[in-house]
Structure 1
Amino acid sequence: MRNVSATFLAAIGAPHDLITSMTYTVPGGSPVTMSVKSGAVACDTSQRTRRTINQMSVYGTLADYKAITTPGTAFHIDHGFDYQAGQTEVVPVFHGELTNAVQQVGDGTITLALADHMNWIARCGFVVPFNPPASMTRIQAITSIVQTAKPGTTVNVTATDTGTVGSQAMWTNSAVDAITALCRDGAMDAYFQADGSFLICDLPSASTASVWTARGIVKSVARQRPFDKLYNTVVVQPSATDGSQTWPQQVAQIQDTTNPRHPNNIGVVPLFWSSPTITTATAAMQAAQALLFRALGTTETLSLETLSNPALEGNDLIRVVIPAVNGEPDDIKQHFIDTFSLDLVTGAMTTGTRSQPVSIT
């Protein structure tokens, strides 16, 4: 979750006015402000391009339309609260580029579709194979990919992975595929944040602390226990072709026999990952355990409709207080945010989550 004041968090459940500020900036130009008529920012942590806006209507002139559709134009949106006492506080909720634009002639409305700058990285594939030095760390390799494809990008690193790329690692065509492989091997995530910077971080774990408690602002909630991906085992296998990965495949599996997904209850349900860069069995097991932890989070999911907290980010851990209903007591859940949609006009927020397993042992 982005850093915000205690006043900001308190305002979520109190009377306040909403503020949405949108600008576009053509290459080499200055930001131009536009008025938002409708639209919602969506975030999906299962996608590399994780923040998108499928359909947003803004008011603009023909000159705005021509500028908006200039290749390389950047879009930035802030959203937040007016505390009704002359004080305001906003946070960035989107930074990215245009994927489509339509101008409705006659009423000044322009309809936009936008995507964060991973869309830029996906567009700019490798002209020649990416074959980094064996001694380069995975974090350095990801940073190089991003800053080569999009010069000037600020890359922030909180990940603790120290693994190197390995002697035969090479990727062709897709820069996004290379980032995905490097992240999996290092138990990391990497994405463009709402302010336009790029973050490389560790995947969440059982020790991840919650960042916010949703209490008294949940408008509706639906529980679900998916049965389509009941993984209880992760198998990480070496895939380098030069013989440098001498470790045998590593298997992480639920050991707690009381866990509903233990193989005694449903059989062995494996998820396979072919690693191109992991150099030791220990590192392979760590990657397998991280992947298994994420898979176990789908044991229970929640679909929430809440008042807006625009400071949230995908994979944030939140505590959700489900109020007493029909004689049932209050229920407190700790869930990671997988998806959300934030309406920029009404402030309504819908969220999809997965549970935080205590452990896999």
Structure 2
Amino acid sequence: MKIVVTGGCGFIGSAVIRHLLRKTSHQVLNIDCMTYAASEETVAEVATQPRYRHEAISINNQNAVERALAAFQPDAIMHLAAESHVDRSIDGPGAFIQTNVVGTYCLLEAARQYWLGLEGAKKAGFRFLHISTDEVFGHLEPEAPPFTEETAYDPRSPYSASKAASDHLVRAWYHTYGFPAFVTNTTNNYGPWHFPEKLIPLMIINALEGRPLPVYGKGENIRDWLFVEDHAAALVRAVERGKPGETYAIGARQPRKNLDVVRQICAILDELAPDPAGPRERLISFVSDRPGHDFRYEIDPSHAETCLEWKAEHDFETGLRRTIQWYLEHKAWWQRLREQRYDGQRLGVQK
């Protein structure tokens, strides 16, 4: 297959591209306009392969996207380009509307025009996979069953509202135009190359530098964690096997309280890189909760596991240890980000 990946220099998008180039024979066109969270280093290992190309264009530039699709002639599009940080969406929601809603519309229209020009088996086999989040479902009470593909939407932040809107656009294009699109919703991802404002990398880096580990509220909020390489494998399986009009909820059945996650990070770091000043749990501090903070997310991935014949390989402890080891071995990458374009004191303590 020839596959377009939008946002392919971001955290999840780059994991998808690395998986595609390592483990399949597919060709990849990466469409990424290189915002603050994108890094060419995330795809450096595949950048020289003849099956890989990168176009530094925005999904909001419909004409440029149309030209890229016409030149590449893809069999599928995997749409991962998005603004994704909740705290940033609270501070400045406009960018989230522009990228996640307007950008998805522009991409859908460019892709639909391209699809309309196809014929025969090429047209019948074309797929548009839209990657979304579990945050569109709102929050779960402590004893409520996990989210499924049938859960009603109830977004509660500018970020989740913008993703919900994009999900609705994708489904509308399927129902109205017969456009062969489908959606995946996933829970919190973690792993290598995660931008240092998200919970796990922020805590790893702050702990290594002896900075405070700021946790919202009492740290009781629960998130369901999925190792990014497992998610990438699921998405590739979805684009190869998924059916238009379907929804696949992708998760690993690994819910944890935020405070427990931070404590586990401290324990692993104390083992791998002891701090002469003492155990790193001393750095944990509790800060005022953020507005509209959802209490719990958790996904039931049974449908995706059955239909896609996929299951997450990593338990949380194994994946977290791999992630921490990666950050220990790649200090130059995250130190450069901290120095050049990231305020290390910013409270990015959730997804």
Measured against the shorter chain, the TM-score band is under 0.3
Higher strand share: 1
TM-score when normalising by structure 1: 0.27
When the two structures are superposed, what TM-score results if normalisation uses the length of structure 2?
0.27
Greater share of helix residues, 1 or 2? 2
